[in-house]
């Protein structure tokens, strides 16, 4: 297994160089890939990584052969209202507590990565960003083979659990169904809710995990089948 980490805080998911880096790294780990077509590879993306891969494919920088499996985790395919909220907070347009907390966590001023996640069709988005979302969603629906999204942010016990409880409660998400950072409908990217199941045995898995939990950082719940990300991934393999 090979890992790739890119700076998604200071760079937009629509950035040409960032998208090219994603394709270059995916192509580099597959010995059977030809040209810009990735083959015989399992790609796992978390959060903005899903948008980067989808955006890169939509832009023609690379493509996925039918032998590729793409596993998406908590991808904000329509953006995140957390981006809008952080940008409002940086302008002192929310409330003192939120503004102070956002400033202390380093989100002010909002960097390109946060700005690029402005919710589709909302005030901080633009026609160009909305078009990029639409193109990325089309690729996502066509190419993704397994997804983990959340319709609840109670999450697993961890040091960061409180942070996602706060985000899920304070950020004016379109729905309470979120992982604290990304709403279910954004992560689903156009797939209907009926396509998902709440057991780790479902390839399209709807959970009660927070945004950090879906990166496999906090293990599994002992009993709750809607909080077993590691077991879900093991079943996929």
Band (pLDDT 50/70/90 cuts) for residue 12 is: very high
Cβ atoms of 146 and 207 closer than 8 Å = no
Average pLDDT, integer, range 64-89: 95
Angle, nearest 10°, between helix axes 48-58 and 127-143? 90
Q: Identify which of 99, 26, 101 has the alpha carbon closest to the alpha carbon of residue 68.
A: 26
106 has a pLDDT exceeding 70: yes
120-139 pLDDT, tens per residue? 999 999 999 999 999 999 99
Token look-up 């942010």 returns 153
- What is the per-residue pLDDT for 125? 97
Give the pLDDT confidence score for residue 117 in this predicted structure.
98
pTM metric for this prediction? 0.93
Percent of the chain with pLDDT over 70: 98
What does each C-alpha distance from 69 to 27, 39, 45, 204, 235 come to in angstroms? 14, 9, 11, 13, 14
Domain ranges of the chain: 16-236
What's the pLDDT at 104?
A: 67
The tens digit of pLDDT for each residue in 137-177 reads 999 999 999 999 999 999 999 999 999 999 999 999 999 99
């Amino acid at each position: 297994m090979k890992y790739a980490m890119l700076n998604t805080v200071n760079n937009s998911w629509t950035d040409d160089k960032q998208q090219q880096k994603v394709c270059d790294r995916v192509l580099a780990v597959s010995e059977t890939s030809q040209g810009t077509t990735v083959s015989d590879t399992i790609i796992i993306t978390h959060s903005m990584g899903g948008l980067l891969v989808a955006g890169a494919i939509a832009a023609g920088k690379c493509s996925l052969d039918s032998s590729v499996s793409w596993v998406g985790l908590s991808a904000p395919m329509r953006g995140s209202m957390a981006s809008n909220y952080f940008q409002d907070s940086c302008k002192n347009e929310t409330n003192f507590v939120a503004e102070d907390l956002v400033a202390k966590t380093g989100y002010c001023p909002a960097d390109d990565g946060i700005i690029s996640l402005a919710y589709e069709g909302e005030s901080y988005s633009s026609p160009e960003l909305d078009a990029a979302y639409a193109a990325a969603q089309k690729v996502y629906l066509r190419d993704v083979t397994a997804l983990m999204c959340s319709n609840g942010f109670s999450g697993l016990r961890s040091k960061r659990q409180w942070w996602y409880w706060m985000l899920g409660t304070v950020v004016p998400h379109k729905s309470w169904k979120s992982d604290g950072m990304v709403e279910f409908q954004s992560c689903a990217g156009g797939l209907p809710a009926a396509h998902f199941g709440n057991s780790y045995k479902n390839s399209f898995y709807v959970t009660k995990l927070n945004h950090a939990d879906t990166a496999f950082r906090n293990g599994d719940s002992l009993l709750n089948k809607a909080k077993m990300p590691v077991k879900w991934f093991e079943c996929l393999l």
